[in-house]
Amino acid sequence: MLIDPLLGVNRSDHAGVSNMFDGKVVSMEPNTTVASSRKEQAPPLIRPILIGIGLLSTLLAILGIFLPLLPTVPLLLLATACFARSSTRCHRWLLEHRYLGPLLQGYLQGRGIPLRAKISAIALLWSSILVSVFFVIPLLSIKLLLIGIATAVTVYLLRLPLLRS
């Protein structure tokens, strides 16, 4: 039985899968990451916000395919996480998309992310943090917090396996 880190549910190749939070059996198709149970879904008032964030992230990710500073894969991962908690249909569409789906599959299957995605994510992260630290944020404690967060995210990204095509 596998644990899907995005949805927080147990998965296996069997039709009935035990939910790790409440012990109920969740009906799932084989090799599917979208649970049919609404238990993992966000509250009804939050769903439209998550769908909006997911759509915006998807649009920016598509632009990132053509613009070198926009990190495509991290934006698609954000969209996937938002859709997983708000819209089964959008989540399935994104994962099964002809062009965008393969970009996500490497990360979601634990194989890693492309080198270009790592470089662009780290470059965008640090450029926005440094602009904020030097020109926007006046408080030293907040500046240090931002630098600490950026350092932690950078370490996380560098530790992710590199997807070899």
How many domains in the chain? Answer: 2
Question: Hey, how many other C-beta atoms are within 10 angstroms of the C-beta on 3?
Answer: 10
CA distance 82 to 77: 9
The dihedrals phi and psi of 163, each to the nearest 5 degrees, come to -75, 120
Is there a domain that residue 30 lies in? yes
**pLDDT at residue 117 in the model:** 79
Residue 127 maps to a domain: yes
What pairing do the DSSP bridges indicate for beta strands 2-4 and 25-27?
Answer: unpaired
Q: Which range of residues forms the domain containing residue 155?
A: 115-159
Which pLDDT belongs to residue 68?
67
pTM: 0.58
78 found inside a domain: no
3 state SS for 108-159: HCCCCECHHHHHHHHHHHHHHHHHHHHHHCCCHHHHHHHHHHHHHHHHHHHH
Rounded Cα distance, 31 and 43, in Å: 26
Residue 134 lies in a domain: yes
- Residue 7's nearest CA partner among 85, 104, 90, 106 is 85
Residue-level pLDDT, tens digit, the chain, 165 residues: 344 444 444 433 333 333 333 333 333 333 444 443 444 788 989 999 999 999 999 999 999 888 766 778 888 989 999 999 999 999 999 999 998 998 888 888 888 888 887 888 898 889 989 999 999 999 999 999 999 999 998 998 899 888 876
| Residue 165: predicted pLDDT | 66
Give phi and psi for 64, each to the nearest 5: -65, -20
Let me know if residue 7 belongs to a domain.
yes
141 domain-assigned: yes
Q: Does a structural domain hold residue 94?
A: no
Specify if 13 maps to a domain.
yes
One-letter amino acid at 46 equals I
How much is the pLDDT for 112? 85
Helix axes 100-108, 72-86, angle to 10 degrees: 80
What per-residue confidence (pLDDT) applies to 1? 39
